[in-house]
Structure 1
Protein backbone atom coordinates (compact mmCIF):
# COMPACT_ATOMS: atom_id res chain seq x y z
CA UNK A 1 0.00 0.00 0.00
CA UNK A 2 2.86 2.35 0.86
CA UNK A 3 4.48 1.74 -2.55
CA UNK A 4 1.21 2.60 -4.33
CA UNK A 5 0.88 5.84 -2.36
CA UNK A 6 4.50 6.79 -3.11
CA UNK A 7 4.00 5.97 -6.81
CA UNK A 8 0.82 8.07 -6.96
CA UNK A 9 2.61 10.93 -5.22
CA UNK A 10 5.49 10.73 -7.73
CA UNK A 11 3.05 10.77 -10.66
CA UNK A 12 1.17 13.75 -9.23
CA UNK A 13 4.43 15.60 -8.53
CA UNK A 14 5.81 15.03 -12.04
CA UNK A 15 2.48 16.08 -13.60
CA UNK A 16 2.42 19.20 -11.43
CA UNK A 17 6.00 20.07 -12.40
CA UNK A 18 5.23 19.58 -16.10
CA UNK A 19 2.17 21.80 -15.77
CA UNK A 20 4.22 24.43 -13.93
CA UNK A 21 6.82 24.40 -16.72
CA UNK A 22 4.09 24.84 -19.34
CA UNK A 23 2.53 27.61 -17.26
CA UNK A 24 5.99 29.18 -17.08
CA UNK A 25 6.11 29.61 -20.86
CA UNK A 26 2.58 31.01 -20.80
CA UNK A 27 3.79 33.67 -18.36
CA UNK A 28 5.71 35.48 -21.12
CA UNK A 29 4.03 38.72 -22.26
CA UNK A 30 3.95 37.34 -25.84
CA UNK A 31 4.12 33.84 -27.34
CA UNK A 32 7.51 32.09 -27.48
CA UNK A 33 6.47 28.97 -29.38
CA UNK A 34 8.40 30.04 -32.50
CA UNK A 35 11.58 30.32 -30.45
CA UNK A 36 11.04 26.89 -28.91
CA UNK A 37 10.75 25.34 -32.38
CA UNK A 38 13.76 27.26 -33.75
CA UNK A 39 16.00 26.55 -30.74
CA UNK A 40 15.56 22.79 -31.26
CA UNK A 41 17.50 22.94 -34.55
CA UNK A 42 19.62 26.09 -34.07
CA UNK A 43 22.95 25.72 -35.90
CA UNK A 44 26.25 26.41 -34.14
CA UNK A 45 27.31 29.96 -34.95
CA UNK A 46 30.55 31.78 -34.03
CA UNK A 47 30.74 35.16 -32.35
CA UNK A 48 30.94 37.86 -35.01
CA UNK A 49 28.42 36.20 -37.33
CA UNK A 50 25.37 37.78 -38.91
CA UNK A 51 22.09 36.70 -37.32
CA UNK A 52 19.15 36.32 -39.71
CA UNK A 53 15.73 37.69 -38.83
CA UNK A 54 13.36 34.71 -38.64
CA UNK A 55 16.03 32.27 -37.52
CA UNK A 56 17.89 31.07 -34.45
CA UNK A 57 21.55 30.38 -33.75
CA UNK A 58 23.43 28.45 -31.10
CA UNK A 59 25.94 31.23 -30.54
CA UNK A 60 29.46 30.40 -29.34
CA UNK A 61 30.52 32.91 -26.69
CA UNK A 62 33.98 34.00 -25.66
CA UNK A 63 35.28 35.39 -22.36
CA UNK A 64 33.58 38.79 -21.98
CA UNK A 65 36.87 40.71 -22.00
CA UNK A 66 37.65 39.24 -25.45
CA UNK A 67 34.20 39.80 -27.00
CA UNK A 68 35.15 43.08 -28.72
CA UNK A 69 32.05 45.06 -27.76
CA UNK A 70 31.34 48.07 -30.01
CA UNK A 71 30.27 50.07 -26.96
CA UNK A 72 30.49 49.07 -23.28
CA UNK A 73 27.50 46.88 -22.33
CA UNK A 74 24.78 48.71 -20.39
CA UNK A 75 25.41 46.26 -17.57
CA UNK A 76 29.09 45.61 -16.96
CA UNK A 77 29.70 41.86 -17.28
CA UNK A 78 30.82 40.08 -14.15
CA UNK A 79 34.27 38.53 -14.07
CA UNK A 80 34.34 35.02 -15.52
CA UNK A 81 31.29 35.52 -17.75
CA UNK A 82 30.99 35.21 -21.52
CA UNK A 83 29.83 37.40 -24.37
CA UNK A 84 29.61 37.80 -28.13
CA UNK A 85 28.99 40.36 -30.80
CA UNK A 86 26.87 39.72 -33.89
CA UNK A 87 25.22 41.77 -36.59
CA UNK A 88 21.68 41.77 -37.92
CA UNK A 89 20.04 43.35 -40.98
CA UNK A 90 16.99 45.12 -39.57
CA UNK A 91 13.97 44.79 -41.89
CA UNK A 92 12.02 47.85 -43.12
CA UNK A 93 9.40 47.36 -40.36
CA UNK A 94 12.20 48.09 -37.91
CA UNK A 95 11.04 46.20 -34.83
CA UNK A 96 12.88 43.01 -33.89
CA UNK A 97 12.47 40.60 -31.01
CA UNK A 98 15.57 38.90 -29.62
CA UNK A 99 14.99 35.85 -27.44
CA UNK A 100 17.64 34.09 -25.37
CA UNK A 101 17.83 30.56 -24.01
CA UNK A 102 19.70 31.56 -20.86
CA UNK A 103 20.81 34.36 -18.58
CA UNK A 104 22.62 37.12 -20.48
CA UNK A 105 22.33 40.82 -21.15
CA UNK A 106 21.54 41.98 -24.69
CA UNK A 107 22.37 45.40 -26.12
CA UNK A 108 21.54 46.55 -29.65
CA UNK A 109 23.78 49.20 -31.17
CA UNK A 110 22.77 51.33 -34.14
CA UNK A 111 24.61 54.41 -35.42
CA UNK A 112 27.19 53.94 -32.68
CA UNK A 113 24.65 54.21 -29.85
CA UNK A 114 22.87 51.69 -27.65
CA UNK A 115 19.14 51.55 -28.37
CA UNK A 116 16.78 51.20 -25.40
CA UNK A 117 14.48 48.21 -25.56
CA UNK A 118 10.82 48.83 -26.35
CA UNK A 119 9.58 45.73 -24.52
CA UNK A 120 10.86 42.97 -22.27
CA UNK A 121 9.55 39.68 -20.98
CA UNK A 122 11.49 37.22 -18.87
CA UNK A 123 10.47 33.96 -17.23
CA UNK A 124 12.67 31.60 -15.20
CA UNK A 125 10.28 28.63 -15.40
CA UNK A 126 10.05 28.17 -19.19
CA UNK A 127 12.33 25.33 -20.32
CA UNK A 128 14.89 26.55 -22.85
CA UNK A 129 13.84 30.21 -23.01
CA UNK A 130 14.81 32.79 -20.41
CA UNK A 131 13.99 36.18 -21.91
CA UNK A 132 12.68 37.99 -24.94
CA UNK A 133 13.45 41.65 -25.68
CA UNK A 134 12.01 43.95 -28.35
CA UNK A 135 13.78 46.85 -30.04
CA UNK A 136 12.42 49.55 -32.38
CA UNK A 137 15.17 50.27 -34.88
CA UNK A 138 15.76 51.96 -38.21
CA UNK A 139 15.98 49.63 -41.21
CA UNK A 140 19.58 48.71 -41.96
CA UNK A 141 22.48 47.23 -40.03
CA UNK A 142 22.64 46.88 -36.26
CA UNK A 143 25.12 45.28 -33.89
CA UNK A 144 23.86 42.95 -31.18
CA UNK A 145 25.97 42.42 -28.07
CA UNK A 146 25.47 39.61 -25.59
CA UNK A 147 27.22 39.84 -22.22
CA UNK A 148 27.19 38.43 -18.72
CA UNK A 149 26.39 34.84 -19.78
CA UNK A 150 27.55 32.14 -17.38
CA UNK A 151 27.88 29.48 -20.11
CA UNK A 152 29.94 29.40 -23.32
CA UNK A 153 26.92 29.00 -25.60
CA UNK A 154 23.62 30.81 -25.89
CA UNK A 155 20.72 30.09 -28.20
CA UNK A 156 19.45 33.29 -29.78
CA UNK A 157 16.39 33.89 -31.98
CA UNK A 158 15.85 37.10 -33.92
CA UNK A 159 12.24 37.48 -35.03
CA UNK A 160 9.68 40.02 -36.13
CA UNK A 161 7.20 40.39 -33.24
CA UNK A 162 3.83 38.68 -33.55
Structure 2
Protein backbone atom coordinates (compact mmCIF):
# COMPACT_ATOMS: atom_id res chain seq x y z
CA UNK A 1 0.00 0.00 0.00
CA UNK A 2 2.86 2.36 0.84
CA UNK A 3 4.44 1.89 -2.63
CA UNK A 4 1.11 2.62 -4.32
CA UNK A 5 0.71 5.82 -2.30
CA UNK A 6 4.25 6.97 -3.08
CA UNK A 7 3.81 6.16 -6.79
CA UNK A 8 0.50 8.02 -6.91
CA UNK A 9 2.12 10.98 -5.16
CA UNK A 10 5.00 10.95 -7.69
CA UNK A 11 2.55 10.88 -10.60
CA UNK A 12 0.50 13.74 -9.16
CA UNK A 13 3.62 15.74 -8.34
CA UNK A 14 4.92 15.22 -11.89
CA UNK A 15 1.58 16.29 -13.34
CA UNK A 16 1.51 19.35 -11.10
CA UNK A 17 5.07 20.22 -12.12
CA UNK A 18 4.21 19.93 -15.83
CA UNK A 19 1.12 22.07 -15.30
CA UNK A 20 3.22 24.62 -13.40
CA UNK A 21 5.67 24.77 -16.32
CA UNK A 22 2.82 25.45 -18.74
CA UNK A 23 1.31 28.00 -16.37
CA UNK A 24 4.75 29.63 -16.11
CA UNK A 25 4.82 30.41 -19.83
CA UNK A 26 1.22 31.62 -19.69
CA UNK A 27 2.31 34.21 -17.11
CA UNK A 28 4.03 36.31 -19.80
CA UNK A 29 2.10 39.45 -20.78
CA UNK A 30 2.11 38.25 -24.41
CA UNK A 31 2.51 34.85 -26.10
CA UNK A 32 6.02 33.36 -26.30
CA UNK A 33 5.19 30.32 -28.43
CA UNK A 34 7.07 31.69 -31.45
CA UNK A 35 10.21 32.03 -29.34
CA UNK A 36 9.85 28.48 -28.01
CA UNK A 37 9.71 27.12 -31.56
CA UNK A 38 12.60 29.28 -32.78
CA UNK A 39 14.86 28.57 -29.79
CA UNK A 40 14.66 24.83 -30.48
CA UNK A 41 16.61 25.26 -33.74
CA UNK A 42 18.54 28.50 -33.10
CA UNK A 43 21.87 28.45 -34.97
CA UNK A 44 25.15 29.21 -33.19
CA UNK A 45 25.93 32.89 -33.73
CA UNK A 46 29.02 34.87 -32.70
CA UNK A 47 28.98 38.19 -30.88
CA UNK A 48 29.01 41.01 -33.43
CA UNK A 49 26.64 39.27 -35.84
CA UNK A 50 23.48 40.67 -37.39
CA UNK A 51 20.28 39.32 -35.84
CA UNK A 52 17.43 38.79 -38.28
CA UNK A 53 13.92 39.92 -37.39
CA UNK A 54 11.72 36.82 -37.31
CA UNK A 55 14.53 34.51 -36.28
CA UNK A 56 16.47 33.32 -33.25
CA UNK A 57 20.18 32.90 -32.58
CA UNK A 58 22.17 30.94 -30.03
CA UNK A 59 24.46 33.87 -29.29
CA UNK A 60 28.00 33.22 -28.04
CA UNK A 61 28.82 35.77 -25.35
CA UNK A 62 32.23 37.03 -24.29
CA UNK A 63 33.46 38.38 -20.95
CA UNK A 64 31.59 41.69 -20.48
CA UNK A 65 34.78 43.75 -20.42
CA UNK A 66 35.63 42.42 -23.92
CA UNK A 67 32.15 42.84 -25.46
CA UNK A 68 32.95 46.21 -27.10
CA UNK A 69 29.76 47.98 -26.03
CA UNK A 70 28.84 51.00 -28.16
CA UNK A 71 27.52 52.82 -25.08
CA UNK A 72 27.96 51.79 -21.45
CA UNK A 73 25.10 49.42 -20.51
CA UNK A 74 22.30 51.06 -18.52
CA UNK A 75 23.02 48.56 -15.74
CA UNK A 76 26.76 48.13 -15.25
CA UNK A 77 27.57 44.44 -15.66
CA UNK A 78 28.90 42.66 -12.58
CA UNK A 79 32.40 41.26 -12.59
CA UNK A 80 32.58 37.80 -14.13
CA UNK A 81 29.50 38.22 -16.32
CA UNK A 82 29.18 37.98 -20.09
CA UNK A 83 27.91 40.18 -22.88
CA UNK A 84 27.66 40.67 -26.61
CA UNK A 85 26.88 43.29 -29.21
CA UNK A 86 24.79 42.58 -32.30
CA UNK A 87 23.08 44.58 -34.98
CA UNK A 88 19.52 44.42 -36.28
CA UNK A 89 17.69 46.03 -39.18
CA UNK A 90 14.48 47.42 -37.71
CA UNK A 91 11.47 46.85 -40.02
CA UNK A 92 9.31 49.66 -41.39
CA UNK A 93 6.77 49.24 -38.59
CA UNK A 94 9.55 50.16 -36.14
CA UNK A 95 8.55 47.80 -33.33
CA UNK A 96 10.68 44.85 -32.25
CA UNK A 97 10.43 42.35 -29.45
CA UNK A 98 13.61 40.79 -28.11
CA UNK A 99 13.24 37.62 -26.05
CA UNK A 100 15.99 35.87 -24.11
CA UNK A 101 16.47 32.35 -22.79
CA UNK A 102 18.28 33.55 -19.67
CA UNK A 103 19.09 36.47 -17.41
CA UNK A 104 20.75 39.42 -19.17
CA UNK A 105 20.23 43.13 -19.61
CA UNK A 106 19.20 44.41 -23.07
CA UNK A 107 20.17 47.86 -24.36
CA UNK A 108 19.08 49.00 -27.81
CA UNK A 109 20.95 51.88 -29.41
CA UNK A 110 19.83 53.81 -32.45
CA UNK A 111 21.39 56.97 -33.87
CA UNK A 112 23.85 57.05 -30.96
CA UNK A 113 21.13 57.07 -28.28
CA UNK A 114 19.94 54.36 -25.90
CA UNK A 115 16.25 53.66 -26.53
CA UNK A 116 13.96 52.96 -23.56
CA UNK A 117 11.79 49.87 -23.78
CA UNK A 118 8.02 50.26 -24.19
CA UNK A 119 7.10 46.90 -22.69
CA UNK A 120 8.63 44.20 -20.54
CA UNK A 121 7.58 40.76 -19.42
CA UNK A 122 9.72 38.39 -17.40
CA UNK A 123 8.90 34.98 -15.96
CA UNK A 124 11.22 32.66 -14.05
CA UNK A 125 8.94 29.61 -14.38
CA UNK A 126 8.81 29.25 -18.19
CA UNK A 127 11.31 26.63 -19.38
CA UNK A 128 13.76 28.11 -21.88
CA UNK A 129 12.46 31.69 -21.91
CA UNK A 130 13.26 34.22 -19.20
CA UNK A 131 12.24 37.63 -20.55
CA UNK A 132 10.78 39.48 -23.49
CA UNK A 133 11.22 43.21 -24.06
CA UNK A 134 9.59 45.48 -26.63
CA UNK A 135 11.08 48.58 -28.25
CA UNK A 136 9.63 51.22 -30.58
CA UNK A 137 12.30 52.38 -33.00
CA UNK A 138 12.72 54.10 -36.32
CA UNK A 139 13.09 51.81 -39.33
CA UNK A 140 16.74 51.16 -40.09
CA UNK A 141 19.85 49.91 -38.32
CA UNK A 142 20.11 49.52 -34.55
CA UNK A 143 22.64 48.03 -32.16
CA UNK A 144 21.58 45.58 -29.48
CA UNK A 145 23.78 45.07 -26.42
CA UNK A 146 23.41 42.15 -24.03
CA UNK A 147 25.16 42.43 -20.67
CA UNK A 148 25.24 40.91 -17.21
CA UNK A 149 24.66 37.32 -18.35
CA UNK A 150 25.95 34.66 -15.97
CA UNK A 151 26.55 32.13 -18.77
CA UNK A 152 28.54 32.44 -22.00
CA UNK A 153 25.58 31.57 -24.23
CA UNK A 154 22.16 33.09 -24.65
CA UNK A 155 19.34 32.30 -27.04
CA UNK A 156 17.90 35.48 -28.52
CA UNK A 157 14.80 35.93 -30.68
CA UNK A 158 14.03 39.18 -32.48
CA UNK A 159 10.43 39.39 -33.59
CA UNK A 160 7.76 41.91 -34.46
CA UNK A 161 5.21 42.07 -31.63
CA UNK A 162 1.96 40.15 -32.05
Q: Which residue of structure 1 lines up, in the alignment, with residue 158 of structure 2?
A: 158
* CA RMSD of superposed structures (Å): 0.3
Q: Which residue of structure 1 lines up, in the alignment, with residue 120 of structure 2?
A: 120
After TM superposition, the runs of 4+ consecutive aligned structure 1 residues lying more than 4 A away are none
Q: Which residue of structure 2 lines up, in the alignment, with residue 97 of structure 1?
A: 97
Q: Distance in 1 between matches of 2:67 and 2:142?
A: 16
* SS across alignment from 1:132: strand
In the superposition, the TM-score normalised over structure 2's length comes to 1.00
Q: Which residue of structure 2 lines up, in the alignment, with residue 110 of structure 1?
A: 110
What does residue range 27-66 of structure 1 map to in structure 2 within 5 Å?
27-66=27-66
Q: Distance in 1 between matches of 2:75 and 2:11?
A: 43
Question: Is 1:137–2:137 an aligned residue pair?
Answer: yes
Q: Distance in 1 between matches of 2:39 and 2:69?
A: 25
Q: Distance in 1 between matches of 2:103 and 2:11?
A: 31
Q: Extract unaligned runs of 5+ from structure 2.
A: none
How far off its partner does 1:111 sit?
0.6
Q: Extract unaligned runs of 5+ from structure 1.
A: none
Q: Distance in 2 between matches of 1:16 and 1:79?
A: 38
